[in-house]
Amino acid sequence: MPVMSLRNRMSRRLLTMVAGPDGARERYRIHGTPGPRWFPSDSPIHDVHGDASMYVGGIRALLLQALHPLAMAAVDDFSDYRTNVWGRLARTATFIATTTFGTAEHAQQAVDVVRAVHARVTGTAPDGRPYRADDPHLLAWVHAAEIDSFLVAHEKFGRRRLSAAAYDEYVAQAAVVGRALGAAPVPTTRRELNDLIAEFRPELRGTPAARAVAQFIREVPVPTVARAGYSALVRAAVGTLPRWARAPLALPDRPRMDASVHRVAGTVMTGTIRWLTTAEPMKDPGRPPRSTTAPLPR
């Protein structure tokens, strides 16, 4: 059928963009390897990290994380996001998928790799303060901004909203990964998460590097066929940011548009991604799977 054929082609292209050229094989490794997992298959973390709303949440997380000058200095000095945006996306997507859905052994290996990288990332921010990527306090901000973003995006654009208790459980499960990476303190409830973000606010500001990364995120070079869809995801992500976070990043603050046009656009795009990425069941590495949700769930 022409529609199914188009759906499968678009699904394969999306998988390659998000997870890289080896995305299908990685997906099978993550889901197809037998063994105990960190989280049961019916966990809230599976619901959140396996939903297309992660596309919005991931963009929001990058914007929010950029507001910490030390975190942003480390990204500016060491990240290759400007020249290898899709490679960085693939690494991040694979890490989240591995720690969420993979075996305990693979999850620990993924964490060990990241911790080894963090141990080598040290420097001095433009304001003269030293930074270390393995600083527990800095990792706590990165973790909090990420988990808050995934949770908020799921609430607004997820296939089905979870209960307040389930979202608390999600924060507690995500804390397992945060602690494994060395973050401290790590919230275990949504209230603790909100309190931690509030505690960080005096440390946050819109540096030139933060505004530059926000502009880059809005203007990421994507294939022409995906340009309108990506723009809709970015607008939806900006629309879910706290209003206090927008001006420091030189982002538009349009609450009425956020609640109407951008909300609808985000809903349409996440729904479209969800339709694309459930095209076919997972197959073995000899016959790579042709679909994925975000990022790399079954």
Q: What is the pLDDT of residues 118-135, one digit of tens each?
A: 999 999 999 999 999 999
Identity of the residue numbered 91: R
| Whole-model pTM over 0.85 | yes
d(C-alpha 155, C-alpha 56), whole Å: 11
214 within 8 A of 176, measured Cβ to Cβ: no
Q: Which of 35, 241, 55, 231 is nearest to 158 (CA)?
A: 55
Q: What pLDDT shows up at residue 293?
A: 41
Tally of CB atoms within 10 A around 139: 22
The structure tokens 């499968």 sit at 8
Centroid of chain to Cα 223: 20
d(C-alpha 33, C-alpha 2), whole Å: 34
Residues in the chain predicted with pLDDT less than 50, given as ranges, are 286-295, 297-298
The 3-state DSSP class for residue 41 equals coil
Identify the bridge partners of residue 157 per DSSP, sorted by sequence position.
none
d(C-alpha 128, C-alpha 156), whole Å: 39
Q: What is the pLDDT of residues 214-248, one digit of tens each?
A: 999 999 888 787 889 899 999 999 999 999 999 99
